[in-house]
Structure 1
Amino acid sequence: MTGFGSLSAPARELLARAAWLAAEPVPRDLAEALHPRAGDGPVDELARAGLVSPGPDGGFVLPAEAADSARSAFGERGRDESVLALSHYLGDEGSPGEVARCLTLLPHLVRWVGLTRPEDDFAAGAMLMNRVVVLLLHQQMGASALPVAERVVRACEIHVGPDDVRTWRTRSALASVLDQGGHVRRAARQAEKVIAGVSALYGEDQPDVWTTRNNLGAMYMRLGEYDRAARVVRQLVEHHTAVAGPRDRMTLMARHNLAVVLRKAGRLAEALEIWAACVPEFETALGATDPDTVDVRRSYASALEEQAGPDTSDMSPEEAEHTLERLSGEPGRLTQRHLAALIHRATQLRNQGRLDEAESDFRRAIDLGSREVGRGHPLVVSAHYRLALLHHLRGQDDLALEIAERSLLVSERSLGRTHDETLMTVVFVLSMLARQKRLDELQQRIEDWLADIIGGWGFGHPLVRELARNRSGLALYGVEWVGAGRSRPKSPGH
């Protein structure tokens, strides 16, 4: 302990444990986890000795050189206590701030893994590592956990047993870490081994088999192996239906995932058939505002938009009339092209000043579309926006704003905040608020939506540049906003 003999016992204990951590800031609460008396003077004592740099919150930074010297002096003393302190710092599962603490301790845990051997691990240390891996996976940050995930697998193989179900779970987590890190082929091979191993040892009904199989289906899809992905997901649909019933969340999500795979494979009609059947079941079983319901409804709307085929932006009035005449007599469900042609004709009538006829067509499109494809379908949202613009042309700005506000709520929920139709509606709402001098509401809306507008259209779009340039001064005029939005190519024309 050459050079450290003059330190008090608490300072030596704190230093011996901190020496196994990274040269990263150690906040006060982590310092107190390393040693309960850290806040009572040991940090100040180490700082006076020039061994640490104190932080403003009572924590510290231990430079790598000082840590190396401390490990040379103390040997393995403090090694196990340091990882136990990290576990104590992380706190109870699900406690407030758990994810933030996990991200704070990650570099320290990676450093500890790099300085120690799997043979020297113990159960508490392995469980801490596994918990961190799972937390990071849930935050879509699995790539940063790769060294920890690989280490926890090896530690469990040594100390728990290679065929223990807990070890297989760490291997499954490693597959997910590899997947999130972009090593999809390696991830799929690892997941295949987990499914085979757990099935052989514990049977096909073991829950981990189906959790890993669900992940494997997504991996196959990312690899472009759509037939294999579809086979896996069909197995999941059958399994969850038999175990939990057709209206269970897991069953419904498996059906949705099958539609996603089929759409990726170019089998759009089959995907739409699945979504058409299961979207109402999502709404009934889970509720219309459940996050999974919203996501599935958005996927369905996007697929319907894709099915609509070529846009009608360049369709002549005669072509629109011919399409409407030909399709209006066909029995069965309203087609997307029929609806698009109706909106296109209404838009042309509006641009010709034939506002009463245009309003009739827009309202017919909204009524038919809401019943047949849903209020949140892009074409129905588009019809609402165009109807609002028609009322603005009549000088009925209050009514125009009311229609646009209602449409925005539906569009945001069904299509998302960066979909073109949502953004077009937002822009119209902003223009109406500016015209009516409702500046407080206008400023708040700009703050709420500017990032989404930039994300959807890019900073190079003239409207985005104008919004950003005038954000603080609110020197915007509604006519210019609408003009910038109308210049964007759309289907059908705005």
Structure 2
Amino acid sequence: MREREKGVLQVYRGVKLSNEEVEKLKANEGKLISMNGFLSTSRLPSVAQNFASQSTKRRDAVVVLFEIEYDLSELNDHDIVCADIAKFSDYPEEQEVLFDLGATFKIQSVNREKPDLSRVKLRVTSEGADIAREYIKLNRKELEQRSVAVMFDSLLCDMGQYDKSMKYFENLLQNHKDENISDIEFNLGRAHGFRGEYDKELQLYEHSYATMMMSKPVPEKASAIVLNNIGVVYGSKGEYDRALDYCSKCLKIQEKCLPSDHPDIGDSLNTIGNIYNSKGEYDRALDYYSKCLKIQEKCLPSDHPHIASSLNNIGNIYNSKGEYDRALDYYSKCLKMREKCLPSDHSDIGDSLNNIGNIYNSKGEYDHALDYYSKCLKMREKCLPSDHPHIAASLNNMGSVYDRKGEYDRALDYYSKCLKMREKCLPSDHPDIARSLNNIGNIYDCKGECDRALNYYSKCLRMREKCLPSDHPDIGDSLNNIGNIYNSKGEYDRALDYYSKCLKVQEKCLPSDHPHIASNLNNIGVVYGSKGEYDRALDYYSKCLKMREKCLPSDHPDIAHSLNNIGNIYNRKGEYDRALDYYSKCLKMREKCLPSDHPDIGDSLNNIGVVYYKRSEYKRAVGYFERCLKIRKKFLASGHPDRVGVEKMLSGAKKFV
């Protein structure tokens, strides 16, 4: 507060709640309530009421004005902390006061003054502080040396208020007085990073680090954290070796000056695991995540959020390896822990729901995926600003399910909403905007609208070339997608040109046996297959299969895909026995690692049916076509080309039975 104010502080918070939520508050008069995260209030009731009167999607919402009373004479080092942050704001006239994590209030009274207005009187109390104190202490380890001003401004980043955080830190930098300049630069860098402005973020981190190095003595612990964040930025830019270099330096310093089981060492191990994950070196990533988890289980409470995060990361690895059941197990443990130790609408719980949705999406269990994605979206819309990037990500994931289900118009609707939101809340050249352009391009590609797809893919490529290093993997992906379009248009030489450029990027930035390189070899094989150069196609497919068998689990879906493609070539060459052999191996693998009604299994059944049809074994062909159609009816609309195709084949085969 302003130089530690005395007396009674009166502040206000305006929100919209449902009638049911107001009644719950009424039923809990005299009891304690703790807010989720950090609570923004105003000294002016008019500001709070105006804020609450803003439009909302909730039709049953009524205005609720919280009147919060705080006797500052009771303030001591163990009670609730709040800060007057008006001097840092773009709107100082709003007289904003921010309450600390763990602030606890007693509900004095709840009165409905009008049908659409209720007034809730709260009093700040320290009665609930002991419950939250251990959690807060563990989460403040990196803020121990910071002033109150720096601490509260850095929290705005965690609240998703990146623009406000940037403005506050810029003001602090201009009026820093006794504040630590390197600390301010570090947090200003964080704010730019959340906005995807990696070059500016990197510049501020490097300046912060240089300032620290000139200090006497050098703050080793703090400097290690800056090195770690520099490494994270290089990782985001796709410069993984430089990222590893900085993060390894950070870890080396921490191992020198901290106990071997210190949480910061666990965090560094986790970061290095993230980099190996991005490089596709999943076993090394798993090793670092496991070491991190071991430290956390030793030094943190058994249900601490950081342990949940490590379980989540290990789940990510198994997801990447195609071991979906193991991934689901870790994600479920993570969700259970987060539901136990975090508020019910915490954004991390939303992240867990999202990840479980990802697994069901990958397994082809689309209704389950939509259920989890919908729960995640609902939670994010409740606890995050209406244009928060995570809400956009949820819209994107909903679109991806409809994309896979072949409901392209619904997918396009979600992808378009996502793009609109990202263009509103992110810098104009942010990588996530490029990703949305790419996804919309995918939809037009699937709909056979090659020119519109090419337009979106080209916009995506231009944006990525502008904001990412020339050898970033995402640029390779864009080149690959444009190659796909030219392949679809029958412009095979142009397709090969883009695939070759993609391969050149990938070989420069990825390990020699990375799955993405294998996928590109596969695509080059597709082009040669389309050109009728079957032996060359077979050569690339075989190289792809060999690489995938080396770098992926033995029952990974991508290996099955390679077997399928080799089967396609033998089918086209008229070598039906060999085609049937590869198709059967593919089907066996898919039935082992995918749900029984997964669309890929339907594709395998169709391909085997086609071979039997060509061999004039119509009765066997009918059996496979019927099984395929049963699956496709479940996932594809009645007019979908793949569904229509198998219906025609089935009808044709039945004529000969």
TM-score of the superposition, structure 2-length normalised? Answer: 0.35
**Higher relative strand content:** 2
**Higher relative helix content:** 1
Larger Rg: 1
TM-score of the superposition, structure 1-length normalised? Answer: 0.45
